[in-house]
Amino acid sequence: MVIANDDPNSWDGSSSSQSLAKLDELNRDKNSLFYNKLDTNRAGIMGHSQGGVGAINAATNFANSKQFKAVYTASTTKHALAQRIKMGLSN
């Protein structure tokens, strides 16, 4: 399954973490189309530019971060720039 969000401030990773949490919820809901069909403990995440920063943050800074097993980023904002504009990159 591929999901995406339209978060204009995706750099902090919170919307991706929340999306994964929603998939967990739907996977446990007996009334959901996705009931027991998702392996949310082996999720992958990707992002471009500030979304790349968000992918890194989602995979490192949240309670459900360990569920992300693969991370792909393209043209990710550099750490120094992220610090200057308060994007909160992980070390």
Predicted model pTM: 0.83
DSSP-derived secondary structure for 36-65: TT--GGGEEEEEETHHHHHHHHHTTSSTTG
Tell me the average pLDDT across 67-84: 83
Q: What is the pLDDT of residues 6-65, one digit of tens each?
A: 887 788 899 999 999 999 999 999 999 999 999 999 999 999 988 898 999 999 999 999
Residue type, position 57, single letter: N
Residue 33 confidence (pLDDT): 97
pLDDT attached to residue 89: 52
Please give the pLDDT value at position 12: 86
